[in-house]
Amino acid sequence: MYLDMLKIIKLGRPQFLFGGFLLFTMGALLAVLFNAPFSSDKFIFGYFILALAHLALHYSNDYFDMNADQFIKPTPISGGSGILIENPNLRQFSKKFAITLIFLSITFAVIFTIIYSYTLWFLLYVILGNFLVWFYSAPPVALAYRGFGEISNGMNGILLSGMGYFTMMGSLDLALIIFAIPLTFLQFIFTIGVEIPDMEGDKLGGKITWIVSRGRSFGFKLIAISGALAVVSFFLLPFTNLFPSNINFRFFALISLIPLTLGIIGLFKKQLNRDSATKMAIMDVASVFVVAMLIDLCLVNTLFSEI
């Protein structure tokens, strides 16, 4: 029983929830800097709704990606959990559990909307997120199998930070959308990074990712370009006059040089075999987490400096 529970937990890859939490927190902190009152109840409740959907993504992906994952050796950032390949008896559980998590996410969003008297848009926002969770790999849409998975994942830069912002502010606005532009570029680095190790297996499994279509060289080019665009975007945000002047966007641009630098290294090293490319991709993905953590810490410091 203990071993089955451990396998079920590993199947959900809970370690990846950390990235969603960082982006959710980022959006929530931005809202507070715009004078939205901070509510720990809203924060916990809102993130709980998001976490349910985020977990559902992993359970549904492992279910629908099982054919592709049989050709892939899991890495710390890609290839699924590997649990269903070793334990096919858990496959139906994975699907049903993903559906249950999505149902709970939407149900709690309804309760949240009623308790805090939010507009129907909050509920629709959560429904949209869960729609993308399910149909990222589920037929008949199957975005990851039709060349649209990267766009769907890239949207997480807006959707995840937007969820935090919406939870605190009670609405979305232009400032959040503009703020999420560099986050979207960072999310592209994450997305391409997790695709790079799985190129051969994804191809055999019928996935049409950008890496399958264009190769690892293209992937490392896209990572470098996305890193550059993130740096430039953070640098330009203060000139929009949409944000409080005490937000240190120069610092955000500076730390975004980390993934940019790694992107340039990957571009020129031309590490195209799976082992060396995987090592580079892991560093690229890790750099996105580092940037997100530092941004959150900077925003927290900004809030405390006002007290």
- What pLDDT, on a 0 to 100 scale, did the predictor assign at position 94? 94
pTM, entire model? 0.94
Assign 3-state DSSP to the chain and report helix, strand, coil percentages, each to 5.
80, 0, 20
Count the neighbouring beta carbons within 10 Å of the beta carbon of residue 108.
16
**pLDDT band at 19; cut points 50, 70, 90:** very high
Q: Mean per-residue pLDDT for 157-162?
A: 94
**pLDDT band at 307; cut points 50, 70, 90:** low
Nearest in space to 60 (alpha carbons), one of 105, 106, 14, 11? 11
% of the chain exceeding 70 in pLDDT: 98
272 pLDDT higher than 60: yes
Q: Mean per-residue pLDDT for 18-34?
A: 96
306 pLDDT higher than 70: no
151 pLDDT higher than 90: no
**pLDDT band at 1; cut points 50, 70, 90:** low
Q: Which two tokens stand for residue 262?
A: 């790694």
Q: Do 244 and 34 meet the contact criterion of CB atoms below 8 Å apart?
A: yes
Q: What is the mean pLDDT of the chain?
A: 92
- 56-111 confidence digits (pLDDT tens): 999 999 999 888 788 888 888 887 788 888 888 889 999 999 999 999 999 999 99
**pLDDT band at 115; cut points 50, 70, 90:** very high
- What pLDDT, on a 0 to 100 scale, did the predictor assign at position 204? 84
d(CA 15, CA 275): 22
Backbone angles phi, psi at 139, to 5 degrees: -70, 160
d(CA 168, CA 13): 27
155 pLDDT higher than 90: no
